[in-house]
A and B are shown apart, each in its own frame.
Chain A
């Protein structure tokens, strides 16, 4: 059930919201939210509801035992067991097939034949809820949060439908108090509907229109110079509006339900440099990787060579988190290397003297090139596509719909705004209320009309 589908917009959400708001944040509302979240997830594949429940149960018990135990060795063993279990589930469903492919490619000869292929359907949102439940156990181990008192509250935290399938990756501490007691007031409703409407428009109008430009170009076997650049630009903008749109909808829904989810984007294409970019793009993933991977690896405390290694390992794993494909690994490594270069030039970067606009444009170009690899089905296609982008002699104009350039220009203007939303509640004028109602209606009309294009980040 996609957020912009009729089933969600006009059936599931209204049917859920009315009784939920009537429960007024009582303890029963968590039970109701939990049941609704499992119904929501079952809309994709009811068989995998058991997997979320398993993951939830493992981390629930692990965290409780960790909190109860005073023995550091036991606590450590429990933590390792919990992380191993979570990563094993994630690894099997997400990476087993890829692992077998790689093993066959590398060692097929030695193995006297091939390891049989593993073909399992990827459970939607597994990367998101696994990271969320792992962060909870680690935080309990570190003593930064106390374990949840009720299983229902914890299960609700893991499976809450607004952010279950594509984030933002929420930490337990961020919703702990709301899980125990929450009050939904007029401002929450205003902010929630407004943020959802903004996200709906980002996804259904901009994201899907940009996909109609990018998809045929990436599908063509031999794009020309201009087509390749238009395709790369369109996808770079599409992935932002698609994912930021989803995040806005999730944040808005969370607020309607009485939760304040963390921001996931902060005008990422205004970034000056790659470090700045990763502070603005998919913030909840980059901070997760920083807090639970980069810092434990030593962060920037153990000398330059170790910093570079930590950066590359973190970004490689960040790339691999997106999917079991060589393109994501290369994309992660590319960002890791760029971060190393930036780190090495720190304090004596000759480019730092350039005007901010030029540095911003340069950063955007580097991000765009990375997204070509990210979007391509395999490395050879990515290489051919990048090749087309540096061969101006093959300047064949792409076949574009008359309004494609208008959409691209409009999307560029909006992507380079400083704010993620055009205006911010609370509303002091009726005009702002009317404008939000218009956004909601237009977003719904576009959302319902579309082919229900899945969100790009649902596959991760």
Chain B
């Protein structure tokens, strides 16, 4: 055990008398600098994207109303959460919301929309700029305006007063594989039950909101995080990076792929989604359900087998169940896999979990076909087959 030598007071030198005070002063100065930076620096300086800045805690209005974010240095969630700054790919993004806190850039209030879009962050268009948002792309394919309620919980959106004024007939509900797996996880039983779970309220203060993205942490990310990542230590958030293409892969998605959900869980999820489609049907709305695969599913061949587990049977299994329940369903997996194997642009941002404008264009083209298809054919559950 280390013992502490004592030196008589009159023999003490300056390091001994002043050292402790200086060390403590250094510590307090760091705390002060961090606090001042957090209070005075604009949040945009240390937020890497629009999402945290734009999100609201209101179920019907998922984003701040009439909000505009513009940046040339938006970067991906995986690179930032894995604390690997050198793997960031900067892009320009404009993110605009309307008076209802929904992402409908340039929407005219007197417009009507036969088709509306619901869904998660993929349908909102995290990382992509206003001109590439899915609803806008789908509208161009259909040659008619499409209104987006994406980001809002489905049943909350369907009780929105504005929906009646739009005169909607078709609902395109797009859900990413990660969202679907979370909804279908038996460990999280009940999450899918109403599919109308209110968004988690976000703390309003800047301290709370940027807990993971605060100035001191951003600083240490650059110093330490990148060094560790470069030395081969992969954090659980991003256990694998494809050096050749610069693509990062999500640990959550890979763990989900290795854990095959039991058939009952998939059946239960399909039942919930079918129930939602029936609720919509009773309101005179036809549903087109779009299942969007994860990046780890589409680019599986770039990931070592030990990390991704066996064949991914989740989306095919869910599609089978949904078709059996007569829910018009479009599983984008085979379409995306086909596109990924060609030499075209990437379908997912390398440093992020979300899809690129190219993937959105492809999806919009196929979804437009499903929307145009007559209800009789979709009721037979042929949308999925048609896509193949």
B-binding residues in A (CB < 8 A) = 6, 9-11, 13-14, 17-18, 186-194, 209, 212, 215-216, 256, 263, 266, 399, 401-404, 419-421, 424-430, 432-433, 436-437, 440-441, 444-446, 448-449, 451
Contacts and interface: CB of A to CB of B under 8 A. Distances in A.
Contact of A420 (B2, B17, B31, B216): B2
B377 interface: no
A6 B21 contact: no
A394 B60 CA distance: 56
Given A186-B17, A403-B233, A451-B236, A433 B23 contact: yes
A444 B23 contact: no
Contacts of A433: 15, 19, 22-23
Given A189-B21, A445-B224, A437 B231 contact: no
A189 B20 contact: yes
A427 B231 contact: no
Given A6-B214, A189-B23, A399-B306, A449 B15 contact: no
B335 to A, nearest CB: 33
Interface string B11-41: 0110111111111101110111011000000
A215 B236 CA distance: 10
Contacts of A420: 1-2
Given A6-B214, A449-B225, A428 B20 contact: no
Contact of A437 (B26, B28, B83, B306): B26
A419 to B, nearest CB: 5
B231 A426 contact: no
B234 interface: yes
A263 B1 contact: yes
A445 B6 CA distance: 32
A440 B217 contact: no
Contacts of B31: 9-11, 13-14
State the 10 A-B residue pairs at the shortest beta-carbon distance, nearest first: A190-B20, A189-B20, A401-B232, A14-B31, A433-B19, A449-B220, A449-B224, A193-B23, A448-B220, A402-B232
9 contacts: A6-B211, A9-B31, A17-B24, A212-B235, A263-B1, A428-B16, A444-B30, A449-B83, A451-B237
A186 B21 contact: yes
Interface string B305-346: 010000000000000000000000000000000000000000
Given A18-B28, A186-B21, A401-B232, A424 B216 contact: no
Interface of B: 1-7, 12-13, 15-24, 26-28, 30-32, 34-35, 83, 211, 214, 216-217, 219-221, 223-225, 228, 231-237, 239, 306
Contact of B15 (A17, A18, A430): A430
B296 to A, nearest CB: 17
Contact of A6 (B34, B232, B239): B34
B206 to A, nearest CB: 13
Contacts of A446: 220, 224
A216 B306 CA distance: 12
Contacts of B233: 209, 212, 401, 403
Given A427-B15, A430-B15, A432-B19, 10 more contacts: A186-B20, A191-B4, A215-B236, A404-B232, A425-B20, A426-B19, A430-B19, A433-B23, A444-B30, A446-B220
A448 B214 CA distance: 10
Contact of A432 (B15, B30, B237, B306): B15
Nearest to B81: A451
Nearest to B83: A449
Contact of B220 (A11, A189, A402, A445): A445
Contacts of B34: 6, 10
B270 to A, nearest CB: 29
A289 to B, nearest CB: 20
A437 B23 CA distance: 6
Contacts of A194: 23
Contacts of B16: 186-187, 190, 426-428
A195 to B, nearest CB: 10
A186 B24 CA distance: 10
Nearest to A12: B31
Given A14-B28, A440-B27, A427 B19 contact: yes
A150 B24 CA distance: 31
A83 to B, nearest CB: 31
A18 B31 CA distance: 12
B111 to A, nearest CB: 46
A194 B27 CA distance: 12
